[in-house]
Amino acid sequence: MAITHDLDQDDSIVSGMEFEEFDVIVVGAGAAGIGVGVSLLHAGVENFLIVERESVGASFSAWPDETRFITPSFPSNSIGMLDLNSIAIGISPAFSMKVEHPTGKEYATHLQDIVDFFELPILEKTNISSIEKIQDLFHLETTDTTLQARNVIWAAGEYQYPLLEAFEGSHLCRHTATIPSYKDLEGDSFLIIGGYESGIDAAYHLSSNGKNVKVFDLNSPWDEESSDPSITLSTYSFERIRNPKFEKNVDLCSQTAICSVELIDGIYKVNTEDGQVFESTSQPLFAGGFEGSHRFISHLFEEREDGFPLITENDESTIMPGLFLCGPSVRHDGHIFCFIFKYRQRFAIVAQAIASTLGYDTDEFVEAYRGWGMYLDDLSCCGQECLTC
Ligand SMILES: Cc1cc2nc3c(=O)[nH]c(=O)nc-3n(C[C@H](O)[C@H](O)[C@H](O)COP(=O)(O)OP(=O)(O)OC[C@H]3O[C@@H](n4cnc5c(N)ncnc54)[C@H](O)[C@@H]3O)c2cc1C
């Protein structure tokens, strides 16, 4: 049975657990936290805890109702190719859910199923407010207690930390990460700032509901020929752009840099750098990406030039041994691991690093994970087409 606790119901749970000092605490029970938890188990580490401020898969549960995975799931495990949306060997969301492009809520349920299957130790409804290392132990503060661990894996994600301050008046816009459902948005016409996946997703759902939409982007993601998904859109989004309602209702505005948004007498004015002004009575939507949770622990890492944490070849802090990073914020040189099928390849690197310091033999573990493409330790062989997003 999974150890899933609610501190509101029983605040003595932590002190009542078998171990008070953990070998590892994982912060966040999203795709990265659960995935690395399974890897820890497979590597032989049992004395760990996954701490989650809300519930398992909370970020996925918070996606707009209509939003679906852009990466397809397929039950390809039987031929030795792990389902693209799988976070663990032997798991296939396509097989278990019978859905190719799951919604966020479906995926959150899938993560909970994995927690139940592997009996992962989860402490829910517990926010980690600070991390400090005293001698060899990390002290993690929650509202009710201080948790202690020899290692910490930060897997707190990005979704709950949207980029809100991007240009003058950006606070007047509504970030797409705060929209529960597109069908409930009032208004007949919408201005969307940002034309990558989230912006196109918003435009698709609004246009399907008969709304007129303009999408502004600094570049032109819908025209790019590149195979690099950080520059161009996914196949799924290109298919949506060709939908008749999208073609009829959506105006894609390339090379249109928005410099400010104003609200004057109930009218939103969206101003471009080249002097154009677009008006709407509906609140403009901002699909501008995420600041990321790593900002909150930036003092525990050296910083790269792009602001992301500098990490060792084991995804460990260069200045705080024992602190690891998992998930879409992982960066190595020019390689970005923003999709599940990319960052899952680093779970076993972290698990192996921790397991070996604890004295476990990890040879079989590494061999098995490598065989499934889940142990990526040689980045030199990977160009942008397999690693960058
Ligand atoms: C609209 C959209 C569509 C996407 N589509 C795809 C796709 O098709 N394919 C794909 O591979 N990826 C996709 N992604 C990216 C994918 O969602 C992310 O890679 C994934 O959510 C990251 O997982 P994570 O575990 O790092 O973070 P999260 O899923 O955000 O999990 C982090 C968890 O940490 C918890 N937490 C945060 N701070 C604390 C704290 N201080 N204390 C305790 N707990 C904390 C949160 O509650 C949360 O549950 C999409 C993202 C978005 C926004």
Q: pLDDT tens digits, residue range 126-146?
A: 999 999 999 999 999 999 999
Is residue 196 left, alpha or beta, with left meaning phi > 0 and alpha meaning psi from -120 to 50? beta
Looking at the fold, whether 302 and 274 belong to one and the same domain comes out as no
Give the number of the atom of ligand 1 that is nearest the alpha carbon of residue 28: 34
Average pLDDT over residues 213-231: 83
Per-residue pLDDT, 378: 87
How close is the Cα of 67 to the center of ligand 1, in Å? 14
24 occurs within a structural domain: yes
The rounded distance, in Å, linking the Cα atoms of 156 and 28 is 5
Looking at the fold, whether 38 and 137 belong to one and the same domain comes out as yes
Looking at the fold, whether 12 and 130 belong to one and the same domain comes out as yes
Looking at the fold, whether 304 and 207 belong to one and the same domain comes out as no
Per-residue pLDDT, 1: 29
377 occurs within a structural domain: yes
For residue 73 and ligand 1, the question of a CB distance below 6 A is answered with no
How close is the Cα of 156 to the center of ligand 1, in Å? 7
Per-residue pLDDT, 80: 94
Average pLDDT over residues 296-324: 96
The rounded distance, in Å, linking the Cα atoms of 337 and 36 is 14
30 occurs within a structural domain: yes
Task: Report yes or no: 369 and 385 within 8 Å, Cβ to Cβ.
Answer: no
For residue 206 and ligand 1, the question of a CB distance below 6 A is answered with no
Give the number of the atom of ligand 1 that is nearest the alpha carbon of residue 296: 41
Per-residue pLDDT, 228: 63
Give the number of the atom of ligand 1 that is nearest the alpha carbon of residue 51: 43
| Final residue of a structural domain among 286, 303, 336 | 286
Helix axes 347-357, 31-42, angle to 10 degrees: 40
Per-residue pLDDT, 229: 65
165 occurs within a structural domain: no
The rounded distance, in Å, linking the Cα atoms of 8 and 299 is 30
| Final residue of a structural domain among 286, 304, 327 | 286
For residue 323 and ligand 1, the question of a CB distance below 6 A is answered with no
Looking at the fold, whether 208 and 328 belong to one and the same domain comes out as no
pLDDT above 70 for 245: yes
pLDDT above 50 for 12: no
pLDDT above 90 for 46: yes
Q: Which two tokens stand for residue 361?
A: 């033999």
How close is the Cα of 260 to the center of ligand 1, in Å? 29
Mean residue pLDDT of the chain comes to: 92
Average pLDDT over residues 12-39: 82
Q: pLDDT tens digits, residue range 300-310?
A: 999 999 999 99
| Final residue of a structural domain among 286, 320, 351 | 286
324 occurs within a structural domain: yes
Give the number of the atom of ligand 1 that is nearest the alpha carbon of residue 343: 19
Q: pLDDT tens digits, residue range 355-389?
A: 999 999 999 999 999 999 999 998 876 654 443 34
Q: Which two tokens stand for residue 381?
A: 């062989």
Residue-wise DSSP of 15-33: HHSS-SEEEEEEE--SHHH
> What 3-state class would DSSP assign to 48?
strand
pLDDT band at 266 (very low <50, low <70, confident <90, very high): very high
How close is the Cα of 71 to the center of ligand 1, in Å? 15
**Order of all β-strands in the sheet with 267-272:** 258-264, 267-272, 277-280
Per-residue pLDDT, 167: 97
For residue 91 and ligand 1, the question of a CB distance below 6 A is answered with no
The rounded distance, in Å, linking the Cα atoms of 168 and 55 is 35
Q: pLDDT tens digits, residue range 91-121?
A: 999 999 999 999 999 999 999 999 999 999 9
Q: Give me the percent of the chain exceeding a pLDDT of 90.
A: 87
Looking at the fold, whether 319 and 269 belong to one and the same domain comes out as no
Looking at the fold, whether 151 and 178 belong to one and the same domain comes out as no
How close is the Cα of 60 to the center of ligand 1, in Å? 7
pLDDT band at 230 (very low <50, low <70, confident <90, very high): low
Give the number of the atom of ligand 1 that is nearest the alpha carbon of residue 56: 49
Computed from CA positions of residues 229, 234, 238, 241, in that sequence, does the dihedral angle turn out positive or negative?
negative
Domain holding 118, by residue range, is: 3-160+291-387
Q: Which two tokens stand for residue 139?
A: 């002290």
Q: Which two tokens stand for residue 186?
A: 């009032």
Looking at the fold, whether 195 and 224 belong to one and the same domain comes out as yes
Looking at the fold, whether 235 and 326 belong to one and the same domain comes out as no
* CATH number of domain containing 102: 3.50.50.60
Task: Report yes or no: 103 and 87 within 8 Å, Cβ to Cβ.
Answer: no
Residue with tokens 């939507």, as numbered in its chain: 285
Residues in the chain: 389
For residue 153 and ligand 1, the question of a CB distance below 6 A is answered with no
How close is the Cα of 19 to the center of ligand 1, in Å? 28
Give the number of the atom of ligand 1 that is nearest the alpha carbon of residue 31: 25
**Among protein residues, the one whose CA lies closest to atom 20 of ligand 1:** 31
Provide the domain count of the chain. 2
Looking at the fold, whether 57 and 130 belong to one and the same domain comes out as yes
328 occurs within a structural domain: yes
* pTM to 2 decimal places: 0.93
Looking at the fold, whether 46 and 140 belong to one and the same domain comes out as yes
pLDDT band at 317 (very low <50, low <70, confident <90, very high): very high
Looking at the fold, whether 109 and 182 belong to one and the same domain comes out as no
For residue 237 and ligand 1, the question of a CB distance below 6 A is answered with no
For residue 58 and ligand 1, the question of a CB distance below 6 A is answered with yes
Q: Which two tokens stand for residue 230?
A: 């950080």
